[in-house]
Amino acid sequence: MRNGTDKALAPAPIEHGPNDPALFVNRELSWLDFNQRVLEEAIERHAHPLLERAKFVSIFSSNLDEFFMIRVAGLDDQCAVGVMDRAIDGLTPQETLERIRQRVLEHLQMRNDCFFQDICPELERKGIGFVSCSMLSESQQALLRDYFREEIFPVLTPLAFDTGHPFPFMSNLSLNLAIELEDEETHSIKFARVKVPGILPRILRLDQVKGLEFDDDKIRLLWMEELIEHNLCQLFPKMRILQCHPFRIIRDADIEIEEDEAGDLLESIEQGLRSRRYGKVVRLDITPDMPLSIRQLLIKNLGVYERNVYEIGGVLGMSSVIELLRIDRPDLKDKPFVPANALEQWRSDNLFDAIRSGDLLLHHPYDSFNPVVELIWQAARDPEVLSIKQTLYRVGSNSPIVKALMYAVEQGKQVAVLVELKARFDEENNIVWARALEDVGAHVVYGLPGLKTHAKLTLIVRREQDRLCHYLHLGTGNYNPVTARIYTDYSYFTTDRSLSDDVSELFNSLTGYSKNRRYHSLIVSPINTRKWIMEMIKREIEWQRREGTGHIILKMNALVDEEIIRALFQASIEGVKIDLIIRGICCLKPGVKGFSEHIRVISIIGRFLEHSRAYYFNNGGHPELFLGSADFMHRNLDKRVETIFPVIDQRLVASVRSDLEQMLRDNRKSWQMLQDGTYRKIRDGRPAFDSQKQFMRQSSKRKRQTKTKVNGI
């Protein structure tokens, strides 16, 4: 199936060289294409078990909400101040917004058809069904009214809107009921709003309501807003309910901090988090049956334009269907996957011994994240460890790694942690952990002014005999054991002195006033990443000219940067083979004769989120492999602290090269970008090959082999 079918974006003839807009894909529309590929995981009936398909509906919806909160909000701002500049694809902000609206409406219809016309009937056949209050008997409805009075009523706050009551404030992502009432005494017409509180379950399981019984074991589900609507008379006594309509708002949630003027960055971000609730409304979701009078009342008082209004049939706020995964039906979910634990494979209780014996590489989630956590805990407990330095970007709400760092401080070790407070939507968690670390005496810094620190680094200094040894963990993903179970990433452990010296210098830059700009092995944004990638591409061009062996494989989340795209075009013109494994946004069109005909672009969407970044260069038959935290976007190259590091051990280079080759073979979860910038699912006639399933099989094989060795068989 192909996506991105907007006829207005059909490719134009290439006439004007590498700057021709027809060679590029609009960044925002490329992201929407990616999110459609996520939705296709729900639409394809045999791609996943039934409840997992519902999960992808939720992920698609949540992704789209964030897209509006950040990207659409930014485009709206540009339009408001009259920006008419054209992006590399030739579209203005206003034209981009028009294409976004058209595409989003199509996608929302696809989502609703998938969920309500396919997934819900299938759930019904499996004994799980949504019901309405009217489908219940009178006695069951009476019990449900009692439940509402006891459990729901006390949480609700009806807000009137009239001359004595200002239009109520509505928080970001809130689901609300717009209610028109008639006073039974004065017969005057009133308007009120009731918010569906986020602290309540959005989907109520009726079989878990006390006293409510049914004749079978079927699981009956009720949307919370319907329960509230059915019992509005309890909220508005002596009022007649004329009509009730749900609506939902999405606000601009991009926090802007003037760091040069901020006396205290932590305090400024806390203020920004509070202001996020008050950002302008960028999308108003309503149902098609909302009358014009209520629609206009909302538009006027929320300060939105018609272009911000989206009529959506069915249910609003579909990210909440993730709650269906709480249902205990293993037959409708993915089979549990337990990754191989390298701690058992390495057969060493002391991770420092294991790392000192040779560089180690883990591929998550196929390899457990436990060794990373255990390394920090061993460092915290080891009396020979003198210091631990670490960067933290997204660590989650219950982080064992932060607890280990706090314990290390209590054991008298020097602990320095860079907590990136500006990690979008993780600011609150990071503020909590920053304060907790400060409270126990850790050295905590919040990053460099104007730059987010996105690098994933740990440096441990340990006394061994008469010298100090440096141990490194370098990663492509966050120090978060929860996401490490569903994100694909690499963890690299080494004692390489050149790398450790570079990491030490980088920490000095992050925590102090060092202005070091020379690194021997580490590639660091914003210092030298852009220059490095340009040089590596030029080197492959030279190899192609001399020997015809130029080959580049890049695996990332996004490829947006124009300069690098043009360099890749030049490499393709010279005949360099280029394989791009880009999960999300890709602004480069492959296969265009005379420019990108030697470039292939694929995107893998599967059970796990492809998050690792790998950069492979054939180098005339002497392959070089690098891993890191950077996508090729302006922000990663010029506005963030990112690190890319070489993998020296050729065994590990070969291992990652094998991983990349298997991804490139994938013809089940892989989408290929076509010459016009659209995608189609790869079905090439070869035997079915799912790279993620293959990695899971390889992980299970490693577990069996380890168990065999341990048992001495």
* DSSP-assigned letter for residue 68: I
Give one DSSP letter per residue of 495-507, joined into a string: --HHHHHHHHHHH
Contact 365, 342 (CB under 8 A): no
- What is the number of residues in the chain? 713
CA distances from 433 to 270, 427, 465, 532 (A): 14, 10, 35, 34
- The alpha carbon dihedral of 344, 347, 350, 354 has a sign of negative
DSSP state of 256: -
Distance between CA 211 and CA 139 in Å, rounded? 11
Instruction: Tell me the C-alpha distance between 50 and 548, whole Å.
Output: 48
Number of other residues whose CB lies within 10 A of the CB of residue 234: 14
- Pair 380, 386: CB distance under 8 Å: no
- Of 307, 262, 261, 260, the C-alpha closest to 282 is 307
Give every CB contact of residue 165 below 8 A, 6+ residues apart in sequence.
Answer: 159
Burial class of residue 422 in the structure, from the number of CB atoms within 10 Å of its CB (0-12 exposed, 13-18 middle, 19+ buried): buried
Token pair of 558 as six digits: 């996004």
Phi and psi torsions of 59, nearest 5°: -65, -45
Neighbour count for residue 308 (Cβ, 10 Å): 22
CA dihedral of 556, 559, 561, 566, whole degrees rounded to 10? 110
Cα Rg, the chain, nearest whole Å: 28
Structure-token match 């304060």, residue found: 435
Geometric angle at alpha carbon 534, from 532 and 537, rounded to 5°: 110
- Residues with a catalytic annotation lie at 454
Structure tokens at 431: 């503020």
Cβ count near 18 (within 10 Å): 16
User: Comparing C-alpha atoms, which of 541, 582, 578, 538 is closest to residue 558?
Assistant: 582
